[in-house]
Amino acid sequence: MKVVITGGAGFLGQLLIRALCARGRLQDATGAERTIEQIVAIDQSHAARLFVDERVGYVVGDISQSALLMHVLGTDTDSLFHLAAVVSGAAEADFELGMRVNLDGTRALLDTCRTQRRPPMFVFASSVAVFGGELPQVVTDDTAATPQASYGVQKLVGELLVGEYGRKGYVDSRVVRLPTIVVRPGKPNAAASSFASGIIREPLAGEEAVCPVETETPLWLLSPTAAIEALLRAHELPRAQWQAVTGGRALNLPGLTVTVAQMIEALRAVGGDAAVSRIRVAPDPRIKAIVQSWASRFVTTRASQLGFRADPSFDEVVRTYAATHATTHTTIHTTPGTPT
């Protein structure tokens, strides 16, 4: 089978490609195990070090360009993971860019999918950012999405379009709303949520991190590993089961509700007081406004029915990150009662 991944040079894209190559096979919508022959990653630019495998090709380009998409998808694409997006802070700062990539890009992908030999599987990574404004204490599967920022609006429009193309039978649509993904390795990005990884990652690397929101701010989090598992599960669930539970709508994924203060304590458990001392809290009104408009408490009944799972604890998320990305600046602490 041929798999196309937008945003394939990004952090999640690279993790997904590694996971796909390691498995070598993927279940299709009929439940049949199929060998992955080809993976094509599209991205606006490429990271310095990309995962290399004979099955993987990389294409640089803008997903809003139909000609590029027709070239990349051909007519034989079986599965598409649509991860590419202009992130929240950048979409708010550059309206046209956000509209072009997040909205026109999704639309162009969907239209290109209609030219495939068979309707492809279309897994769309949407976001918790579709929720905003006056929200109930706890967001449920039936809570209305009311985004308050460009990124959330564009993701919600994307969800609706992917769902509609699914309803029409042009794609097999699977839309999942990702919590904030923490801990991302590498550099900060223009996402308003970038700090949530930064306040763990930078201190563990011996660097200072700025936290632009108050420490009592709650966030709704998922680890990169759990996010990749969720994308693969969304792909592999039989169509009938997916439809029966979701009705073809976007699925709120499980996650952990963690305050920044609790994140800092998890950092302390792994990196000690020295790591914590590298965090400086300096509220930024622009970032705060976006982050505070996001939902942080969910009951994800449908996702649980479909077997999606959150990380066991945020401490575990930090420990896993530190174990995989430890540097000389980090002394990893093990806490009593935590076998490592």
Q: Which residues are the active-site residues?
A: 151
- Residue number with CB closer to its own copies (87 or 199): 87
- Residue number with CB closer to its own copies (110 or 199): 110
Please state the closest distance from residue 69 (CB atom) to its own copies, in A. Answer: 17
Name the region of 272 (left: φ>0; alpha: ψ -120 to 50; beta: rest). Answer: left
Contact pick of 102, 106, 150, 197 for its own copies (by CB under 8 A): 150
Is the separation of the CB atoms in 337 and 316 below 8 Å? no
- The values of phi and psi at residue 40, to 5°, are -115, 125
Is the separation of the CB atoms in 247 and 201 below 8 Å? no
- Residue number with CB closer to its own copies (95 or 261): 95
Binding piece for its own copies, criterion CB under 8 A, among 149-157, 200-208, 213-221, 299-307 = 149-157
Q: State yes or no: residue 119 binds its own copies (CB under 8 A).
A: no
Q: State yes or no: residue 76 binds its own copies (CB under 8 A).
A: no
Q: State yes or no: residue 148 binds its own copies (CB under 8 A).
A: yes
- What letter would DSSP give residue 130? G
Q: Contacts with its own copies in 87-116 (CB under 8 A)?
A: 95
Q: State yes or no: residue 153 binds its own copies (CB under 8 A).
A: yes
The Cα–Cα gap between 156 and 279 comes to 33
The Cα–Cα gap between 325 and 249 comes to 36
Contact pick of 72, 161, 232, 310 for its own copies (by CB under 8 A): 161
The Cα–Cα gap between 256 and 219 comes to 8
- Beta strand 172-178 with 121-127 is parallel
- List interacting residues with its own copies (CB under 8 A): 95, 133-134, 142-148, 150, 153, 156-157, 160-161, 163-164, 167-168, 247, 249
